Amino acid sequence: MVIPVSHDPAAYARSVGLDPDKLPRHIAIIMDGNGRWARAQGKERVEGHVRGAQSVDEVTEECCRLGIGQLTLYCLSSENWKRPKAELDFLMALLKQYLLGERQKILDQNIRFAVIGRREGLPEEVLTEIDENTALTRGNTGLTLCLAINYGARAEIVDAVRAIAERVKRGALDPARIDEDTVGGALYTAGMDDPDLLIRTAGEMRVSNYLLWQISYAELWVTPRFWPEFGAALLHDALRDFARRERRFGGLAQ
């Protein structure tokens, strides 16, 4: 579905019972429970990943309708390489299929595509499609769809420290001038807003090495529903709850 140019995100938000002035700019999601959903349905684990990709499509489209600035999805953690090779091969094939199959829709929806994580270990054909989508959408001005692939927050911070240390070593940076902006600018997410809302599915009460620096003041919302069950209605529930939160960022209530 292509959202028409005349679409009014604020009017749409009100039509589904959301306050457009209280929506997050950036939503991050830990998409958990594909395998458990599949087992509960008597299906193979890979079927959960296929159904989970449909949830990605539905949530992305809904964020476009609502005028959300960025959606960051935890697709593959650096720890997920411990899974069986057959499952990993399927995930890489599914990812390639998604990158190719959704390309035109991403372009039509004015979505800016981005990926964070280490490139090492990803198949060359997947990297090619990632780079193609990134290049084709660089000038788009709608939703930023950011996929965290082969991502781990501790690895991201290590890479940032290394990059900063190299600048110090070259004499390009005085250690005394290193501040939070310096660190933030060296992360994979440099130039992106921090998430306002972190959603986790499947009821797990942990952040699983995801955006540890960036979610310092994010609001957390956890649902027991598995990711393949997640869609626009549950997203609306999370957004309504977010709108009721009082975000003080360490200060006092007004």
Confidence at residue 231, expressed as pLDDT on a 0 to 100 scale: 98
Q: How many domains does the chain have?
A: 1
In a domain, 236, yes or no: yes
Question: Considering only CA atoms, which of 159, 135, 9, 124 is closest in space to residue 69?
Answer: 9
The domain in which residue 150 lies consists of: 26-154+198-241
Catalytic residue among 8, 34, 57, 80: 80
Q: Which residues of the chain have pLDDT under 70?
A: 1, 5-6, 249-254
32 among known catalytic residues: yes
Q: In terms of Cα–Cα distance, which of 206, 201, 194 is closest to 247?
A: 194
Determine which one of 32, 133, 150, 196 is catalytic: 32
Q: Is 159 a catalytic residue?
A: no
Does 40 reside within a domain?
Answer: yes
Pick the closest to residue 55 from 24, 77, 84, 33 (CA basis).
33
Closest CA to 45 of 99, 76, 92, 84: 84
Burial class for 10, CB neighbours closer than 10 Å (0-12, 13-18, 19+): middle
- CATH number of the domain residue 33 falls in: 3.40.1180.10
Tokens of 125: 């054909």
217-242 tens-digit pLDDT: 999 999 999 999 999 999 999 999 99
The answer to whether residue 99 is domain-embedded is yes
pLDDT at 247 (0 to 100): 80
Q: Is residue 123 part of a domain?
A: yes
